[in-house]
């Protein structure tokens, strides 16, 4: 059985997240060993947030969970591919995928459609 090599990335491995039906890349995140164990135990994607410096259940605030359907590991055992069933959008800006812009000759063009309004989903208290 292959072991995930968390040591190469200072305890974190990159995770590519893909819709299990459409194969659309939804996002890229990171996992530490705790996130990996929680993902395996619950069947819901858990990640390590570098900006928050802590464990993060995808969908805990928005309700847009990722149910894990399949997990693949790369040849170096240091990158994961999660195939998920995404409820709602994966992007915190309201898009299905975080990759909703395409490079043009002059700029970046939005090619995705919003699936939700972030200000309605993320109602954080301001104080």
Residue 125, pLDDT score: 44
DSSP label at residue 91: S
In this structure, CATH architecture of domain 13-89: Roll (3.10)
Residue 124, pLDDT score: 62
Q: Where are the alpha helices (DSSP H) in 5-54?
A: 33-42
DSSP label at residue 29: E
| Domain residue extents for the chain | 13-89
Residue 122, pLDDT score: 85
Per-residue model confidence as pLDDT tens for the chain (127 residues)? 679 999 888 899 999 999 999 999 999 999 999 999 999 999 999 999 998 899 999 999 999 999 999 999 999 999 999 999 999 999 999 999 999 999 999 999 999 999 999 888 887 644 4
Residue 55 near residue 34 (C-beta atoms within 8 A): yes
Q: What span, in angstroms and rounded, lies between the C-alpha atoms of 88 and 26?
A: 11
Q: Is the dihedral of CA 91, 121, 42, 84 positive or negative?
A: negative
Residue 9, pLDDT score: 80
Residue 126, pLDDT score: 42
DSSP label at residue 47: E
Q: What span, in angstroms and rounded, lies between the C-alpha atoms of 119 and 93?
A: 9
């Amino acid at each position: 059985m292959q072991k995930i090599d968390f040591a190469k990335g200072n305890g974190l491995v990159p995770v590519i997240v893909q819709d299990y039906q459409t194969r659309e890349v939804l996002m890229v995140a990171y996992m530490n060993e705790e996130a990996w164990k929680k993902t395996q135990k619950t069947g819901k994607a858990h990640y390590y947030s570098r900006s928050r410096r802590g464990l993060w259940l995808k969908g805990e605030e928005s309700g847009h969970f990722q149910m894990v359907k399949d997990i693949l590991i790369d040849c170096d055992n240091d990158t994961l591919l999660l195939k998920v069933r995404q409820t709602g959008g994966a992007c915190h800006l309201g898009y299905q995928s975080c990759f909703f812009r395409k490079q043009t000759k002059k700029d970046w063009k939005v090619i995705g459609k919003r699936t939700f309004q972030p200000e309605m989903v993320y109602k954080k208290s301001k104080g």
